[in-house]
Amino acid sequence: MELTDQTKNFLQLDDLQAQHVAELFSVLGDSSRVKIIAALLNGSMNVQALADTVGISPSGISHHMRSLRQMHLVRSHKQGRQVFYSLEDQHVEELFQRGVDHVMHG
């Protein structure tokens, strides 16, 4: 049996890797989290600024941030009593932008 180009380029994931990818997309399956990531494309924001921008309560932002931090999509740092969030790295922005492009051109 001859391998086709499509078969040759198949990315093989073990069960654990496949589970992590599924969890990543599951976390991105919430519209509030998508809005949070979109807001953070402009740079670091504190909880209150995110709440005002996204339109949910500060406690709601904190709840969503736990999931986003666990998947290494955002990072946090404190300045005094305020917690600021930013995207983890350029990969997150690129992944998010590809998703937006897919939806806009789909």
Asked whether the beta carbons of 45 and 39 are under 8 A apart, the reply is yes
CA distance 92 to 43: 13
**pLDDT tens over the chain, length 106 residues:** 455 565 566 789 999 999 999 999 999 999 999 999 999 999 999 999 999 999 999 999 999 999 999 999 999 999 999 999 999 999 999 999 999 999 999 7
CA distance 104 to 99: 9
* pTM (predicted TM-score): 0.85
Neighbouring CB atoms inside 10 A of 17's CB total: 11
* CATH number for domain 16-105, candidates 1.10.10.10, 3.40.50.2300, 1.10.472.10, 3.40.309.10: 1.10.10.10
Amino acid at 77: H
Amino acid at 15: D
Amino acid at 80: G
Asked whether the beta carbons of 73 and 95 are under 8 A apart, the reply is no
